[in-house]
Amino acid sequence: MQVKHSFLVWAMGSFLLWVGCASQSQRIFQEVRGKHHPAVTPTPIPFEAVKPWYGPRMEAINARLREGDVNILFVGNSITHGWETTGKKYWDQYYAPRKAVNLGFGWDWTQHVLWRLDHTDFSHISPKLAVVLIGTNNSNGNDHTAQEIADGIIAVVDRLHTRFPKMKILLLAIFPREPEPCTQREKIAEANRLASRIADGKTIHFLDLGSLFLLKEGRLNQALMPDFLHPNEEGYRVWAEAMEPKIRELLGEEQ
């Protein structure tokens, strides 16, 4: 009887903990929905340099999504976009066989991702998982505070969660950037901390892989990020291998 009672106490405690996490994420979503600043306002990307390819890429992705049969979405900026070029070897190894679609667009900030999600045809798919990595471009200069960057990240996750309530979401911490620890890194770290609060351990999960790209004393490993921002092929390998156990878990694949 004592064992049964202990199990019931544990089960009830676990349930209440999950309910608390879920309630917190919904509360944070509601708070961000009430905010009005650039990072949470869907905005077409304004940069002239992207015009030759941005629209055609949107059209090509929408055409692929209308074909259906999509299990994973990758959402982000140039770092995610790079799975198609620098990281293609590991995309083909890990994600193409799982019917993944790359929704990464170079130059994007959170507000541009929000605009894209509002103009993407998701009507033919029911993905199992979305991997989200966004926000580093918002950290440049004084354009956004850490709270505003976190709000933008949360708004992106909220869009995806609202569109696909049963889909798992793996939110990745913004990767470290710049050669040495600096104020921009500090802002990124705080944005990551604030955004991570929406993880409920059931539908929304948070994973920080930033330490993989750092050497002692916080110096960025140039052997993995030659420009101190974008991974090279080896960087994508390190990223994919480190993320793989969580991907398998969230897809329900055998370990």
Tens of pLDDT, residue by residue over 43-72, are 999 999 999 999 999 999 999 999 999 999
Residue 80 has pLDDT above 60, yes or no: yes
Q: What is the pLDDT of residue 22?
A: 65
Pairing relationship of beta strands 129-133 and 100-104 according to DSSP bridges: unpaired
Structure confidence by residue, pLDDT tens digits, 92-126:
999 999 999 999 999 999 999 999 999 999 999 99
How distant, in Å, are the alpha carbons of 12, 66, 163, 241 from that of 78? 44, 24, 24, 20
- Helix %, strand %, coil % for the chain, to 5? 55, 10, 35
Let me know: does 156 contact 114? Beta carbons within 8 Å.
Answer: yes
How high does pLDDT run on average in the chain?
A: 93
Q: What is the pLDDT of residue 23?
A: 86
Length in residues, the chain: 255
Residue 139 has pLDDT above 90, yes or no: yes
What is the CATH number that goes with domain 28-251? Answer: 3.40.50.1110
Q: What is the pLDDT of residue 9?
A: 41
How distant, in Å, are the alpha carbons of 101, 115, 122, 160, 187 from that of 109? 19, 10, 21, 16, 15
